[in-house]
C-alpha cells in the first residue's frame, strides 16, 4: 500500500514540535516522523492501519487540532535563486517608486473600488513582472490582469505581488509604503520579500532559510548584480545574509502587550479588539503603521499582535506572512483560529 506523507505546519513552539513527534510515534503504522523546530512543523509518513482521522484524533487529544497538508512527492526546489531575484525585483521597483514619490505629480487615479492608483503603482508592477516572468510561474498582482479565484485556486505554485502596498500612505508622503513579493506553494507562502523604498529597508524570508532584515544595504549594486547560475545566486545571497540581521530581533522585555494596527483603516472592530485585550491584559500599547510594515513589526519582535479584521486579498498578506512565520510568529484566521492559507 502506498505510503502517505503529510505536513503539520505552523506549530506554535519548538517544545510543541517535540511533543507532537512523541505522541505520533506511538501510533502503529507510522513509518516516519520528522520535526523541524526552526520551521515549527512536523512531517509524518504512514501506511495502514493508520488513517488521517487517527492522526487528527491524536492531535486533538494533545490539544493541537490541526489540518494535515499533503506534501508533494517531487523534491522541493532550491529557493535561493528565487529569493535573490525577488529581492532584485523589489529594489528595482522601489527605486522607480521613489522617483515618483519625490516628484510633484503622482498621477493619482481611482479604481472601481475607490482605492487610489498612482503612476508609481503602475511602474512598479511593470518592473516586477519583467523580472519574475523568467521563471515561467503564474503571477497574481494587485495591478495585473484579474484572474478569477475559480482559476487561480488550482495553481500549485504562483507569485503574489503588491507593487505598492500602502498607496494612501504614499499619497500622504509619510514613507510607510512597501513593495511586497511572495512565492506560494500549495496555498502556503514559502518565500516573502518586502522592500521599504523611503526607508531603504529590506525584509526577506523563505522556508528552511529563516527571516532577515537589511537596513541601508548596497541596494544599488544588488539590482545590477548578475547571477547567471544557481551557484552564483547562492553566493550573492549569502553575502546579503551576511550583512543582515536575523529575525526576530531580541528586544528588551516590553512592559505591555503591544498591538499594531492600520494607520489609514481604523475601524470599530479594531477598537473593540484592542479594548478586549485591555480587559484581558491590562496595559496595552497600540502602534499605528501603514502597509505591510505592521506584520514586519511582529516579525521583528517589536509588536505582539497584528489583527487584520477587514477584507483581505492574497497580495495584502502573502509576503508578510512568510516573513512573520519564518521569523517564528504564527498567522491564523481570526474567526476559526486555524492556520491561515491563501
Model confidence pLDDT, tens digit, residues 173-225: 999 999 999 999 988 999 999 999 999 999 999 998 999 999 988 887 887 77
Pair 100, 212 in one domain: yes
Are 130 and 55 within one domain? no
Q: Answer yes or no: is 35 within a domain.
A: yes
pLDDT score at 10: 64
Ramachandran quadrant class, 99 (left: phi over 0; alpha: psi -120 to 50; beta: rest):
alpha
Shared domain check, 212 and 173: yes
Same domain, 40 and 178: no
Same domain, yes or no, for 96 and 179? yes
**pLDDT band, very low/low/confident/very high, at 74 (cuts 50, 70, 90):** very low
Residue 189 lies in a domain: yes
Res 32: pLDDT: 76
224 with 86, same domain: the answer is yes
CATH at residue 96: 3.30.540.10
pLDDT at 39: 55
Beta-bridge partner residues of 285: 258
> Using CA atoms, how far apart are residues 115 and 213, in angstroms rounded to an integer?
30
| End residue of a domain, out of 192, 217, 246 | 246
Torsions phi, psi for 246 (to 5 deg): -75, 135
**105, 231: one domain:** yes
Question: Is 337 part of any domain?
Answer: no
Structure confidence at residue 4 (pLDDT): 65
The pLDDT assigned to 118 comes to 87
Residues 43 and 165 in one domain: no
Residue 147 lies in a domain: yes
φ, ψ of residue 56 in degrees (nearest 5): -65, -40
Of 120 and 73, the structure prediction assigns the larger pLDDT to 120
Q: Are residues 93 and 239 in the same domain?
A: yes
Name the domain count of the chain.
Answer: 3
Residue ranges making up the domain that contains 25: 4-70
Residue 34: which CATH number? 3.30.70.100
Check whether residue 201 and residue 301 sit in a common domain.
no
Domain boundary among 195, 218, 246: 246
| Plot region of 63 (φ>0 → left; ψ -120 to 50 → alpha; else → beta) | left
Does residue 194 sit within a domain? yes
**CA separation for the pair 187, 67 (Å, rounded):** 13
Give domain status of residue 28, yes or no: yes
Q: How does pLDDT run across 281-339, given as a tens digit for each residue?
A: 888 999 999 999 999 999 999 999 999 887 788 899 999 999 999 999 988 887 776 77
Model confidence band, residue 37 (pLDDT cutoffs 50, 70, 90): low
- Find the mean pLDDT for residues 58-68: 66
Instruction: Please tell me whether residues 91 and 142 are part of one structural domain.
Output: yes
Q: CB neighbours of 96 closer than 8 A, spacing ≥ 6?
A: 120, 123, 124, 127
Strands 157-165 and 139-141: parallel
Average pLDDT estimate for 61-70:
61
In a domain, 339, yes or no: no
How confident is the model over 257-291, as pLDDT tens digits? 999 988 777 788 888 989 999 998 888 999 999 99
Boundary-marking domain end, from 246, 272, 300: 246
For 225-234, what is the mean pLDDT? 75
Nearest one of 252, 255, 251, 253 to 283, comparing CA atoms: 255
The closest alpha carbon to 179, from 166, 191, 188, 169, belongs to 166
pLDDT for res 85: 94
- 228 and 197: one domain? yes
State the average pLDDT over residues 164-181.
94
> Residue 148 burial (CB < 10 Å; 0-12/13-18/19+)?
exposed
In a domain, 200, yes or no: yes
d(CA 20, CA 16): 6
Name the β-bridge partners of 288: 261
pLDDT at site 296: 96
Amino acid at each position: 500500500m502506498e505510503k502517505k506523507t503529510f505536513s503539520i505546519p505552523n506549530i506554535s513552539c519548538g517544545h510543541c514540535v517535540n511533543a507532537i513527534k512523541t505522541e505520533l510515534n506511538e501510533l502503529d503504522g507510522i513509518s516516519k516522523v520528522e520535526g523541524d523546530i526552526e520551521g515549527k512543523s512536523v512531517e509524518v509518513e504512514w501506511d495502514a492501519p493508520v488513517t488521517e482521522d487517527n492522526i487528527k484524533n491524536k492531535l486533538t487529544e494533545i490539544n493541537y487540532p490541526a489540518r494535515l497538508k499533503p506534501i508533494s512527492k517531487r523534491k522541493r526546489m532550491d529557493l535561493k535563486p528565487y529569493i535573490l531575484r525577488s529581492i532584485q525585483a523589489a529594489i528595482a521597483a522601489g527605486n522607480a517608486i521613489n522617483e515618483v514619490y519625490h516628484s510633484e505629480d503622482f498621477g493619482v487615479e481611482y479604481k472601481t473600488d475607490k482605492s487610489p492608483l498612482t503612476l508609481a503603482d503602475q511602474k512598479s508592477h511593470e518592473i516586477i513582472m519583467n523580472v519574475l516572468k523568467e521563471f515561467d510561474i503564474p503571477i497574481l498582482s494587485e495591478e495585473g490582469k484579474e484572474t478569477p479565484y475559480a482559476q487561480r485556486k488550482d495553481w500549485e505554485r504562483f507569485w503574489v505581488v503588491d507593487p505598492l502596498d500602502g498607496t494612501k500612505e504614499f499619497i500622504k508622503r509619510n514613507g510607510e509604503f512597501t513593495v511586497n513579493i511572495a512565492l506560494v506553494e500549495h496555498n502556503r507562502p514559502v518565500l516573502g520579500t518586502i522592500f521599504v523604498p523611503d526607508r531603504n529597508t529590506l525584509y526577506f524570508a523563505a522556508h528552511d532559510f529563516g527571516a532577515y532584515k537589511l537596513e541601508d544595504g548596497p541596494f544599488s549594486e544588488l539590482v545590477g548584480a548578475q547571477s547567471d547560475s544557481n551557484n552564483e545566486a547562492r553566493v550573492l545571497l549569502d553575502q546579503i545574509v551576511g550583512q543582515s540581521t536575523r529575525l526576530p530581533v531580541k528586544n528588551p522585555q516590553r512592559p505591555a502587550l503591544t498591538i499594531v494596527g492600520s494607520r489609514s483603516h481604523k475601524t470599530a472592530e479594531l477598537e473593540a479588539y484592542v479594548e478586549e485585550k485591555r480587559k484581558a491584559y491590562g496595559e496595552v500599547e497600540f502602534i499605528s503603521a501603514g502597509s505591510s510594515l505592521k506584520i514586519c513589526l511582529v516579525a521583528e519582535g517589536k509588536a505582539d499582535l497584528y489583527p487584520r479584521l477587514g477584507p483581505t486579498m492574497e497580495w495584502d498578506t502573502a509576503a508578510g506572512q512568510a516573513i512573520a512565520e519564518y521569523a517564528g510568529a504564527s498567522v491564523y484566521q481570526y474567526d476559526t483560529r486555524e492556520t491561515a492559507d491563501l
